[in-house]
Amino acid sequence: MTIPPLQPRILGRVDYGETVAAMQRFTAERTSDTADELWICEHPAIYTQGFAGRNAHILAPGNIPVIATNRGGQVTHHGPGQVVAYPLLDLQRAGYYVKEYVYRLEDAVIRTLAHFGITGHRVAGAPGIYVRLDDPGGHSMLAQRPQKRTAGSALPQPDFSGLGKIAAIGIKVSRHCTYHGVALNVAMDLEPFSRINPCGYAGLQTVDLASLGIHSSWSDAALVLGQQLARRLAS
């Protein structure tokens, strides 16, 4: 059987809990012949806590609901103006492992940002994508970038000096199949991020394209990210 190529499905604004339940059903019911899917959406304002998350990172949620979920990572915020992408992939069929999968997710975000004239960066020891606050379009390498480590050396402590986080990653893999995914901040109300330690890091600044001077519609950013993910996640 020939499996069709990955095609983004734009869902629009959908309830977070219902969407997670749908991803779980899809993953539990899929077979080796099930085509992969890529869901692109946004959610009403909500905080989500990873399965190993610490409540101490939720500072003052106020009227925004907090939902425990089974993805990796700590607490993050979803809200209108954020493009959330949920790849539902069979990694065994795709032929690469989880570390490579995360790298490809990050690469898709970096290429999406480049489309809008922004340079995205990886930070050693901290999944997600970051930008220079003083030079968002600059191409010089970060001192904090991941570098080759000697065998047995400790993981580096993340250094966010001069950086803002623009995309978060939190995934779940069950029976070699992925769900949850990546969230790119486009034009959000960023205030709710100040009520948490984003991704478990106190004082980490969160930015979006709008705060960097890039005024894109949600639909345009969703289209670009969906296209980049479909390309980068191909086996």
What residues are annotated to the active site?
A: 199
CA distances from 92 to 103, 135, 222 (A): 16, 40, 27
Find out whether 42 and 218 touch, Cβ atoms under 8 Å: yes
- CB-based contact 129:165 (threshold 8 Å): yes
Of 133, 98, 95, 66, nearest in space to 3 by CA: 95
Are the C-beta atoms of 40 and 225 separated by less than 8 Å? yes
For residue 187, give both structure tokens: 């034009």
| Lookup result for tokens 């080759």 | 148
- In whole angstroms, give the CA distance from residue 11 to residue 42: 8
